[in-house]
Amino acid sequence: MFGRRSVLTLIWVAALPALSACATARLHSVEEINAVGHGCGVALGELFQDESEKKLLFLMKPGATAAQRSCVIRWAKKNHLKPVIVESINFPAES
């Protein structure tokens, strides 16, 4: 009824959702993020993950050292997250 190629294609298509579920980012707890930040030498609140963009890990520390950035980047990649490093913030002047 089905050829060998059709069966293999069906198996592959059925396995895709299971494989992609393994690589999806999850929202880490505040305690976990704080522990990572502490281990990387950044202060509380400088490393965070936003609920609306679970795949991003933000390091908001102007003047972060290369070692701090490297530490955060390694942990982010290991946990299937994309590191976002914010170097500076410019707020608009009040009128």
Residue 10 has pLDDT above 70, yes or no: no
In a domain, 67, yes or no: yes
Band the pLDDT of 89: cuts 50, 70, 90: confident
In a domain, 1, yes or no: no
In a domain, 11, yes or no: no
In a domain, 20, yes or no: no
In a domain, 6, yes or no: no
In a domain, 9, yes or no: no
The 3-class SS string of the chain reads: CCCHHHHHHHHHHHHHHHHHHHCCCCCCCHHHHHHHHHHHCCCCCCEEEECCEEEEEEEECCCCCHHHHHHHHHHHHHCCCEEEEECCCCCCCCC
Q: In this predicted model, what pLDDT tens digit does every residue of 52-87 receive, in sequence order?
A: 999 999 999 999 999 999 999 999 999 999 999 998
Residue 31 has pLDDT above 70, yes or no: yes
**Segments forming the whole domain that contains residue 80:** 25-95
In a domain, 57, yes or no: yes
